[in-house]
Amino acid sequence: MSINSALRAGVSGLVANSSALAAISDNIANVNTTAYKRNQVNFANVVTSQAVKGQYSAGGVQGITRQFVSQQGLIQASGSSTDLAISGDGFFIVADKGAGLTASDARKFTRQGSFSVDADGYLVNDSKLYLQGWPARADGTFDVSPSDLTKMNSINVKNLGAAVAPTQNIAVSANLNKVGVVSAQEAAYTATGANSMAAYADDPTGGTQPDFVIELNVIDSAGGSRKVAMAFLKDDSMNPNQWHAEIYSVPAGDVDNGGGTPGQLASGDVVFNADGTIDLASTTLFGSMGAAPRLTLAASTATGSAMAPAWSDAAGLADQTIALDLGKITQYASTSTVNAISQDGAGVGNIVAIEVDEQGVVSAIYDNSQIRVVAKVGIATFPNSDGLQPVSGNAYRPTLAAGEFTIKEAGVGGAGKISPSSLEASTVDLSAEFTGLIQTQKAYSASSKIITTADQMLEELINIKR
């Protein structure tokens, strides 16, 4: 009966507009939710077969929910270095727990990048979802896989321990006085043994006192500070541009040189050109002429040094090689002086900040200026992200409609770049939602009028019998 079909059409209108109202309500409620994607209920007509010629049977309407997951929200600056936003396509990969994550634990996908460090050191967002990333290897690289989620772990930025950077490079800028008087002790000087400059540093009552000493600070493998001295004694020879030189440890007991001169690491001559610049090709301080200016200390041993020189057994240190840049040591007619000394290396440091760059590399910043790479955030992309299934926490699960995901490095292969210290805003437009709210209300009222009118017509039909 046509009146009955009209009733059903009116009911379908009420149901469809109720769904539209629910979607609008959800949008308005989440206007300030980070990276929230608005939903919309679209309407499609329902057509029924016309069984009786000359009579029309109403079909009604059905509501079809549409997600705008792929719509980009406005990227806004944030005051936290762990807040992240994706500029472009893709999703952060997250899990419901940090520690003990297994292959059977479900992973989710979200663009809500309001991450912070929890009590256990994990990066977790406001919905308590843990950020996943590829852990850094010892050499600073990552085992990147486009589909294997098990290669990713919850990123932890606290359980890293302290950071130490042993000294590897030292650059010295200094001048040796070309017109200085040759010391009276120079005649008895020997490069090794009791008359060496290293012997004088160990016991000032013996040895040969140097004309000039440059002290260098060295950070060892345990983060301790050691002192190495570079001593110079003007050579009373036919070559006025030549100096005796030694490098030794202060105190001498820090190193073991296999029974040689206590603390001595190197000895030889330093030669200068006539213009006052150093002649490294003729310098013998590091062995033969032209040898690279480098100090090598073998690791400490438990049964005495197997190599010389080495760190002392009591120090218990790893081997260390230090490259010396002596190119700015000069010999001019001016007072011997140190102009500048620069070296790398850093003692024990603790984490003071966490930073993430545009490529998704998470780094820990230490108070000794060291930077340690922790992990790299992967970006998951889908062929049809609008087909994802929403779950609580402003996250999504994969579906057949969304297609197979691919994990990419940020900014590579169509994946969006990561914007550190930023958050993506909700895509809800309040003016559009309020307009839709008015339209939905009117449409709902109109559908209710259909039911009222059909009821009145049925009442008239019943009254015919009277």
pLDDT, position 197: 94
| CB-based burial label for 214 (10 Å; 0-12, 13-18, 19+) | buried
pLDDT, position 439: 93
What CA–CA distance (Å, rounded) separates 84 from 324? 42
pLDDT, position 466: 65
What CA–CA distance (Å, rounded) separates 49 from 191? 111
What CA–CA distance (Å, rounded) separates 356 from 419? 9
pLDDT, position 306: 45
Tokens 């890293």, residue?
A: 160
Query: CB count, 10 Å around CB of 397?
Result: 13
| Rounded alpha-carbon distances, angstroms, from residue 46 to 10, 43, 440 | 12, 10, 19
Closest CA to 396 of 407, 385, 406, 404: 385
What CA–CA distance (Å, rounded) separates 94 from 86? 14
What CA–CA distance (Å, rounded) separates 422 from 418? 9
Residue type, position 220, single letter: D
What pTM did the predictor assign?
A: 0.70
Q: Mind giving me the DSSP string for 253-277?
A: GGEE-TTSSTTEEEEEEEEB-TTSB
Which tokens hold the place of 461?
A: 């039909």
Contact 197, 233 (CB under 8 A): yes
What CA–CA distance (Å, rounded) separates 34 from 115? 11
What CA–CA distance (Å, rounded) separates 216 from 342? 9
Residue type, position 395, single letter: A
Closest CA to 313 of 389, 358, 259, 256: 256
What CA–CA distance (Å, rounded) separates 232 from 247? 9
| CB-based burial label for 259 (10 Å; 0-12, 13-18, 19+) | exposed
What CA–CA distance (Å, rounded) separates 31 from 37? 9
Q: What are the phi and psi torsion angles at 87 (to 5°)?
A: -95, 95
| Rounded alpha-carbon distances, angstroms, from residue 451 to 282, 301, 454 | 107, 95, 5
pLDDT, position 305: 45
- The pairs formed by 275-281 with CB atoms below 8 angstroms and a separation of 24 or more are 276/178, 276/330, 276/331, 276/332, 277/330, 278/326, 278/327, 278/329, 278/330, 278/331, 279/241, 280/326, 280/327
Contact 252, 246 (CB under 8 A): no
Beta strands 422-424 and 75-77 are antiparallel
pLDDT, position 307: 55
- Count of CA atoms in the C-beta half-sphere (13 A) of 384: 11
At residue 197, the 3 state secondary structure works out as helix
Contact 238, 210 (CB under 8 A): no
Give, for all 466 residues of the chain, the pLDDT tens digit.
578 888 888 888 899 999 999 999 999 999 999 999 999 998 888 887 766 676 787 878 888 888 999 999 999 999 888 999 999 999 999 999 988 888 889 999 999 999 999 988 899 999 999 999 999 988 888 999 898 998 999 999 887 767 788 999 999 999 999 998 888 888 899 999 899 999 999 999 999 999 999 999 999 988 889 999 999 999 987 788 999 999 999 999 999 887 788 899 999 999 999 999 999 999 999 988 888 899 998 888 754 444 578 898 888 899 999 999 999 999 999 999 999 999 888 877 778 888 999 999 999 888 877 788 999 999 999 999 999 999 999 999 999 999 999 999 999 989 999 999 999 999 999 999 999 999 999 999 998 998 898 888 888 888 887 6
Domains in the chain: boundaries: 2-68+427-463, 75-159+355-424, 164-348
Let me know if domain 164-348 sits in CATH 2.60.98.20: yes
Question: ω into residue 309 within 30 of 0, thus cis?
Answer: yes
pLDDT, position 368: 78
**179 contact partners, CB below 8 Å, separation of at least 6:** 333
What CA–CA distance (Å, rounded) separates 352 from 367? 6
